[in-house]
Chains A and B, each alone.
Chain A
Amino acid sequence: MKKMMCGAVAWLAMAFGLNAAEMKMAVTTSFHNSGLSEVLLPAIKRDLGLEVHLLIVGTGQALRLGAAGDVDAILVHSRKAEEAFLAEGNGTYRREIMYNDFVFVGPGSDQAGIRGAANAVQALRQIAGVKAPFVSRGDDSGTHKKELSLWLEAGLQADGFDSWYRAVGAGMGTALNTAAAMDAYVMSDRASWLNFGNKRGLELLYAGDPVLFNQYAYIPVNPDKHGHVKHDMAIALEGWLVSDTAKELINGYQINGEGLFVFNAQPR
């Protein structure tokens, strides 16, 4: 009995094993839901010997984590917010890595008829026109910000909508689950949509407008502001993310035979 207890205590007391070569990176839910990280992280580990711990949050929180110095780098997709982040001295610079695109998903019956819409803004106007149920992320994420800017372009105020507009205040998966349950329209990044396992009656209804392209950028947290951040590792990771190895993996990543991301990092 005593021996067992001692063993148990020793097991608990053992430090929760952490490697020296590790860093924390805040990424968006949409990036993680795509499944790409499961391809990239092992390759990074193999090539750099670097363990990257992902904090999967909305863009808004990712930026705040970076500003507080709680992570070493961030990988997000909301250009305006990123620039504000840099302007406040929270990051060193912004490096574009790749893009994917947003799609409009909705019930197969498509009551707003957005299948044939001329462009993204037109599609949103049609949804608002018939007051078809629409699920918004409502969580200050990059996807949410993108959606709001599109409503604005359509000349509509999202905060003035009635009950057909549902802001769930949650990640992409939850928003998709909600839309599936309510037969509602929702804007999703393509990766999350393809990987989503609970489609029910939902179908991809509209995609392809260049305004829906979704640029991912990598920002190392400013070591001048937070002395403890692992800046060397952040730089090493950046070097890998813009390398040819990364290019091959990113461009080659497919779900159900569809490519998801387009690598577009520029050499310096």
Chain B
Amino acid sequence: MGELWEGMRQAVWLVVTLDPDLVEISLRSLRVTLSALLIASMIALPLAAVLTVQRFRFRRLTVATLNALMGLPPVVVGLIVYIILSRGGPLGVLGLLFTPWAMVIAQVVIIVPLIASVAHQSLRELWSEYHDLLISLSTTKRQRIAALLWDGRRALLTAALAGFGRAIGEVGAIMIVGGNIEHVTRVLTTAIVLETGKGDFALALALGFILIAMAIVINFAIHNLSRTETEGRW
């Protein structure tokens, strides 16, 4: 218990004093994960919509594959991204290994299947509701996708939220591809691993509390956004 209280005390202290390292690490965590979320959403949401409205030969297989990829072990993703981005790998010339972009790429790979699967579930429901109407209005495929994405935005926000939750708390992959370099690729989760390694549990816990608090704040923010949406303000 002593360690937990000490961790709490330090966490409060670090937040209250806006510890510059803590602020820097937290902002970097947010930035990496939000970038990954933005890119992943731009891939996953249209993909989910296309899978919903488009009948094609391997559709079922694709959906099943996406569902299976949801369980992709982050460490393996990290390893593969590492090998690809390493100087000897196919994309080595880009020099992205051990930069924040490598972490963004790994997180995108991890959360695209998750967001696409969750989004597909809810879009399929919406599509069965809208199907007759949109066919009757003789919409094009593109217009159907647009209508589903727009009218399903609340559910899609939830899908993105799930992706955010998974990405911000992820450590295995970004540790491998980011390298946990101070001031460059050190984020909340990798910093926690480092502090634990130093036996500095109090600081590790403090960082952990910040991570949890951040996840909660973002969850609330998104929840609020989706509430204003039901009232039709935007």
Contact = CB atoms under 8 A, between A and B. Distances in A.
Q: Within 8 Å by CB, do A and B touch in the complex? A: yes
Interface in A209-252: 226, 228
A195 B198 CA distance: 7
B53 to A, nearest CB: 26
Nearest to A170: B197
Nearest to A35: B198
Given A12-B38, A69-B87, A177-B196, A197 B201 contact: yes
Contact of A12 (B31, B88, B194): B31
Nearest to A2: B234
B199 A197 contact: yes
Given A29-B197, A33-B198, A68 B88 contact: yes
Contacts of A198: 199-201
Contacts of B35: 12
B133 interface: no
Interface residues of B, number: 32
Nearest to B87: A69
Interface residues of A, number: 34
Interface stretch (A52-60, A145-153, A154-162): A52-60
B195 to A, nearest CB: 9
A196 B199 contact: yes
Given A69-B88, A226-B87, A177 B99 contact: no
Contacts of B182: 53-54
A18 B180 CA distance: 15
Interface string A192-213: 0001111100000000000000
A9 B87 contact: no
6 contacts: A12-B34, A24-B181, A53-B183, A57-B179, A68-B88, A70-B97
Top 10 A-B pairs ranked by shortest CB distance?
A173-B197, A198-B199, A69-B87, A16-B100, A197-B199, A55-B179, A53-B181, A197-B200, A196-B199, A12-B35
